[in-house]
Amino acid sequence: MSNLFCIKDRVIIITGGCGVLGTCMANHLASEGAKVVILDRNAKLGTELVQSLTEKGYDALFLETDVLNKEILEQNKQNIMQKYGRIDVLINAAGGNMPGATIAPDKTIFDLQIDAFKKVVDLNLFGTVLPTMVFAEPMVNTKKGCIINISSESALRPLTRVAGYGAAKAAVTNFTKYMAGELATKFGPGLRVNAMAPGFFITEQNRDLLLNPDGSHTDRSKTILAHTPFGRFGEPEELLGTLQWLASDASAFVTGVVVPIDGGFDSFSI
């Protein structure tokens, strides 16, 4: 039987590919034989990442981008099409929270910095919408391709403090489902759009919220872990099985789903 999960030679774009989760995904997909295109605004990290991948004999390309700039994204698309001639998978992983959009325990909604809230919505929502508009076009032309968005636990049920981030990721969840219908009904069932909703992983974005300077768990961490049936945070590598399933023909009849990867957090009450 052929390997349903095979992604060998697929041209896979990862926006935010230099981030903690993006780098983990890039390493895995390249090791599975995919041609990995890292799109990120951090040229230094991107160049280093592609160098480390090519030294291992993998096929990888870095292109500097801004996921909020359609002109730059269009230029990126031209470069990718010149080199590889097609795009099979788009992973929209650029995103994240910003301190001003978070409401500290001693503050309320009336202290919210609306500019920071807007920036978080821009990055997470429009930073998904714009790359989708640009990179779905070659997929539509070949009637085959898939898009994987990164939502969040905060989209499924609001978390305290992260008002802007939760609203933005909820919009990503909704857009994922919208696009699943849009692409399949207008361009055919070879086009799929799904999302992963990672739970709690300690990364640069949330380290200060989850760990004290001495490495011990903050009160917020303790609350999260008490509400997580697995009783621990996730490791970035634990996203990879779902990622490969969604990127491969193993999920050929799956579109519009948002998969929580969260040690049971979303399913659990008391």
Site track for ligand NAD across 191-230, x = CB under 6 A: -------x-xx-xxxx------------------------
Q: Does 58 qualify as catalytic in the annotation? A: no
Asked if 21 touches ligand NAD (CB under 6 A), the answer is yes
User: Would you count residue 150 as binding ligand NAD (CB under 6 A)?
Assistant: yes
Long-range contacts at 111-117 (CB < 8 A, ≥ 24 apart): 112/163, 112/164, 116/164, 117/163, 117/164, 117/167
Based on the shown chain and the rule CB under 6 A, indicate whether residue 67 belongs to the binding site for ligand NAD: yes
CB of 50 to ligand NAD, least distance (A): 13
Strand order in the sheet with 89-92: 60-64, 35-40, 11-15, 89-92, 145-150, 191-198, 258-261
Cβ at position 168, least distance to ligand NAD in Å: 9
Per-position x/- string for 26-45, each x denoting binding to ligand NAD as judged by CB under 6 A, each - no binding:
--------------xxx---
Shortest distance, CB of residue 188 to ligand NAD, whole angstroms? 28
- What CA dihedral angle connects 202, 205, 206 and 208, to 10 degrees? 110
User: Which residue in 76, 102, 152, 255 binds ligand NAD (CB under 6 A)?
Assistant: 152
Q: Which residues are known catalytic residues?
A: 165
Task: Give residues in contact with ligand NAD (CB under 6 A).
Answer: 16, 18-22, 40-42, 65-68, 93-96, 123, 127, 150, 152, 198, 200-201, 203-206
